[in-house]
Homo-oligomer: A and B are copies of this chain.
């Protein structure tokens, strides 16, 4: 079947729906964003882990909604005499973290502060902001037995600092506390608290009217109960004044007070952050049932329809299966969701299409060795460069540089005998240069991410 000398025999090359793929200049943007996130995580002292793309299918199942989106993986020619565990692609980075902590608990230092930046896979119907293969960037702090509430604040602070360091529109962090909501629901006589949380979680997407209807018909709430839930969800304050607004609703319990105290403590500790960047927002519910305290959501200015781009919360226990309890708190940044939206709308772009900063022009085969020495010297000094591959007319070589966005072209034979020159092909300015000392302008050394829309 193979054609000798040919690598691929492609039947179809159309894009696969839901599996994003970028051109090099777009991938440069994605890499810059991933790098910036990782840099921030490391500046905060989180350690990297990576888990395989696959997990035992057993460990992925039984999480409700996500079950039906699972991708199963098996060998095409698996032989029955070699029984192998059923495998699936992970659909988030939290379940793999749970398995990782349980498996390696003897080798980890607690509190375990880890970051993990990887692809995940979900067989969802592809739509705006929803991919079947997507990058997530997660941080979690996992304790052994206990975990200080200070980490709930630290996670919020990191979200703020990480997202502020990225070339993104302003991001607003909304924080709530499950204890507050659950306590309030219980105090007004609601039994199926989880069902109400799942319905309230849809507020941003479907609005109050529909949520109220669902609370009445699906969750079986009375009208006063439904109105109470909506009143609670309307509370959002940039400071701890939410506490009084909750008390004004009249419901009281130890659990409510605990939720208020925790949320107020987190908010107070963030009071040095810029005004408006962090809110107590009591509509934040999160769909997942494992959260037990602080919950986080974030929205990006001008892209509220995208939903939360960074979410998470506190959970009592990362995993069952050991005689130890591992409470944790963390968030996940939906990197592909953000990148896909901003690239798609032209709101992010790379400053050029290649890492190359300097093209060393080649005037003859005899000078190839010398050209390579110049390139080597520049690379040793951290300047990305390439030697043009054939000694064609300089005009063609300069056009290649212009087409790929290489800012400088280096000429081995300058005006004066023995001198070399470098041309900035944007200005046309050409000057004598020495590979041992010449430097590009600061902005030209590496590819930068630009926000053309930001000036608007």
Contacts and interface: CB of A to CB of B under 8 A. Distances in A.
Interface of A: 1-16, 19-25, 27-28, 30-31, 42-56, 58-59, 62-64, 67-78, 85, 87-89, 94-95, 97-100, 102-104, 107-109, 111, 113-114, 119, 121, 123, 133, 148, 150-151, 154, 157, 161, 194, 269, 272, 289-290, 292, 315-321, 328, 353-356, 368-369, 372-373, 376, 379, 382-387, 389-390, 400, 403-404, 406
A74 B279 CA distance: 41
A75 B72 contact: yes
B133 A54 contact: yes
A123 B54 contact: no
Most chain B Cβ neighbours within 10 Å, of A3, A14, A50, A104:
A50
Most chain B Cβ neighbours within 10 Å, of A11, A19, A355, A400:
A355
B75 A123 contact: yes
Given A10-B98, A98-B10, A321-B10, A5 B76 contact: no
Contact of A384 (B28, B42, B50, B100): B42
A5 B25 CA distance: 43
Given A76-B72, A316-B5, A14 B103 contact: yes
Contacts of A353: 47, 109
A6 B123 contact: no
A25 B369 CA distance: 41
B24 A114 contact: yes
Contact of A356 (B11, B45, B53, B387): B45
A62 B384 contact: no
B62 A292 contact: no
Contact of A318 (B7, B54, B99): B7
Contacts of A108: 23-24
A220 to B, nearest CB: 20
Contacts of A50: 21-22, 27, 30
